[in-house]
Amino acid sequence: MKNKLQKNIDRALSQSIGSQLAWLSVAVVVVFGLLLLARCVISGAESLDFRDSILHFINPGTSYNSQPDDADKIWALIIGLFGMIFMSGLLISVFNNILARRVEKIQNGKVYYSFENHIVIIGFDKMSIGLVKQLSEKGNEIVLQTVQPIPQVRHELFSNLSPDIEKKVTLISGNRTSIDDLQKLRIDQCAEIFILGENEEYDNDSINIECLKKIAEILPEQKQRISCHVLFEYQSTFAVFQQQDIDLKGKIDFVPFNYYETWAQKVWVDAPGEYAPLDHAPITADSNKHVHLVVLGMSSMGVAMGIQAAHICHFPNFVTKCIKTRITFISDDADREMNFLLGRYRHLFEEIDYIYRDIDNKNNNFANPVTKRKFTDIEFEFVKARVENPAIQQYLKELSAQKDCYLTIAVCFSYPPAAIAAGLYLPDEVYQSNAHILIQQETSYSTVNLLAHQQGIFQKHKNVKPFGMPDNCYNLKYADDLLPMQVNYVYDYYYHNKKIPDNIPVSEISTLWDRLITAHKWSNRYNANTIEIKKRSFAIQTDTVLDDEQIDLMAEVEHNRWNIEKLLMGYRATSRQEKKEIASDKSKKEEYKKMFVHNDICAYKDLQDDATGSNANEYDRCISAALPLIIKTNVSTISDSAFSRSSFCRFAE
């Protein structure tokens, strides 16, 4: 019984500040009451001066009786003694403890506030610092939740931030799969959510999805959906959620992203001032030039760079001269990684040309079987060799000397010193040519960056750029879907009206976008990513008027791009037998599409009408004819102060 009582008291005292104050108050009242009762019993009730006793208890040094008798002196001493214990000793100790525990809770992220219109970051990883820097420009308070030790996170985070940004950041300890911890973030009152996950966490992608679903559960029904950006560490998982819709009860605008694909898009699409395009100069219908991307190292980053290039490198001289874009992977385990890609993108490699070369054993060399003429405008090359192999160095030297080749070399080694060694010791002819060289690094202030800014006569590495830095990955300026929304509006308008629109009402495109399934959103995004290349190849400006010949050529280029997009998304082309079935029964086309078999994956000239009498080339033509309008709308929208890229989606809703 004694142990049980002691345990209950200890538990109450150790729980909260309120419990400690309550126990102290009870103890003071009980002790003071017993002292008064004892005095009444011993000295009589008539001798009790309640006011004087309280003053003695609170401040033993105070006396209001100028000539107390001996009995009063004894009682004053007893009451004062207990007053010193409770009011001076225990009370001060409790308040010291309260302050110490409060400071400890703050330091450990255990204090929760009534946040409102804040931005929530769930998890702390390599991208968090750069993301916080960008988000701080919005002016909202930033709440970061993590399971990692808060003092350690605070040191790592704040050592890279200015004092002004620190004031906007609140760190909270919590588990992103706990509903109680998520509710403490006041998700229902926030403006935007980023789910990143933790450093070196096992099964990061699955936990992030679980977190997303629990957020959807605790969010109340609301008119405005909350934008939730979810990081997927593995490209295979990311690819799945590019095609699948998640039931989020209409409460969340789900924006998945992948670190490697985001960097690849940033280099090839989103940062034209920082990184040179793959087509160093416009590739027109009359051009003899071709893009050749050489990726050194088949890491996750290397594969992402190659696949993203396949999405965007489509040019009119393939239509006029059958000149293809080439993507070369060079790695000492190219055979294993090639087989992995052949399995992952099996239907793509059924429709493109590719070759494999083993530098040390030429008997292993092969090309894919030529069973039919390929209608695709991309070709792949896999070379098994180490970068320092003399044959590879000679190969790069020869490529840099080709007059009709726009060469870009991306060094994609996960180990930064190895990437620097490979990227900075290429043949001199490579640096002397117009080849662009990208080297994957861990920090923006790297050796590569310093060399690239050499002045005077020391400009050997002027075309060398670092990329892949974790703190400079997700660019909020390009995180909205303004261009894809406009592309989608043009398609939708043509579907209902059989003509391109005269204008694009920016107040409507967001609502229309929200109705799309995930796969169609990504299709529009990949289309939008090629707008800059099309502008260069066809010299399109906001006031350009296209004739039928230009539109036909642009439509065929667009269809070539679309073919690669669908093949990369997992669709396959129909077989001869399937084409015959669809030709005899047009309704089967939609049935096959549900099984990821698409009859429109073919050469532009072989496109067939569907059950409604429409032909896919109509949509290729409509989006091509509308390109000047899309460019004009995008320019005017960005220039309008009310429609900044970073706030467009929320404003439009």
Helix (H) or strand (E) holding 488: helix 482-497
Residue 255 contacts residue 194 (beta carbons within 8 Å): no
> For residues 323 and 328, what is the distance between their CA atoms, to the nearest angstrom?
16
Strand partners, 226: 252
Cβ burial, residue 443 (10 Å; 0-12/13-18/19+): middle
Nearest-angstrom CA–CA distance, 175 and 172: 10
Tell me the CA end-to-end span of the chain in Å, nearest whole number: 64
Better-predicted residue by pLDDT, 336 or 643: 336
Which region among 412-416, 496-500, 540-544 has the lowest average model confidence (pLDDT)? 540-544
CA-CA-CA-CA torsion sign (642, 644, 646, 652): positive
DSSP assignment of 492-535 equals HHHHHHSS--S---HHHHHHHHHTS-HHHHHHHHHHHHTHHHHH
3-state SS, residue 168: coil
Tell me what the mean pLDDT of segment 78-83 comes to: 64
In tens, the pLDDT along 225-239 reads 888 999 998 888 888
Query: Helix or strand or coil: residue 465?
Result: strand
Q: Cα-atom radius of gyration of the chain, to the nearest Å?
A: 34
- Banded model confidence at residue 457, pLDDT cuts 50, 70, 90: very low
| Contact between 13 and 23 (Cβ < 8 Å) | yes
Measured CA to CA, the distance from residue 598 to residue 279 in angstroms comes to: 30
Q: What is the DSSP letter of 430?
A: H
The pLDDT, as a whole number, for residue 649 is 37
**Model confidence at 650: pLDDT above 50:** no
Residue 256: both structure tokens together: 């998945």
Q: Give 6 or 243, the one with higher predicted confidence.
A: 243
Section 119-130 average pLDDT: 92
Least confident of 26-30, 52-56, 333-337, 419-423: 52-56
Range from 106-115, 147-156, 296-305, 621-630 carrying the lowest mean pLDDT: 106-115
Inform me whether the pLDDT recorded for 384 exceeds 60. Answer: yes
Q: Which residues, 6+ apart, have CB-to-CB distance to 626 below 8 Å?
A: 490, 500, 501
Give the pLDDT of residue 51: 58
- For residue 75, name the pLDDT band (cuts at 50, 70, 90): low
| Structural domains in the chain plus CATH codes | 2-107 (no CATH), 119-264 (3.40.50.720), 273-473 (3.40.50.720), 480-652 (no CATH)
Q: What is the pLDDT of residues 162-217, one digit of tens each?
A: 889 999 999 999 999 999 999 999 998 999 999 999 988 878 899 999 999 999 99
Residues 6+ apart with CB under 8 A from 442: 416, 468, 469, 470
What number of other Cβ atoms are within 10 A of residue 99's Cβ?
A: 11
- d(CA 213, CA 252) in angstroms, rounded, equals 10
352 Cβ neighbours under 8 A, 6+ residues apart = 368, 374, 376, 378, 379, 380, 567
Spatial contact of 39 and 48, defined as CB atoms under 8 Å apart: yes
What b-and-e string marks burial along 56-91, b requiring 16 or more CB atoms within 10 Å of the CB?
A: bbeebeeeeeeeeeeebeebbeebbebbeebbeebe
Q: DSSP string spanning 16-28? A: -HHHHHHHHHHHH
pTM strictly above 0.85: no
Q: What is the mean pLDDT of the chain?
A: 84
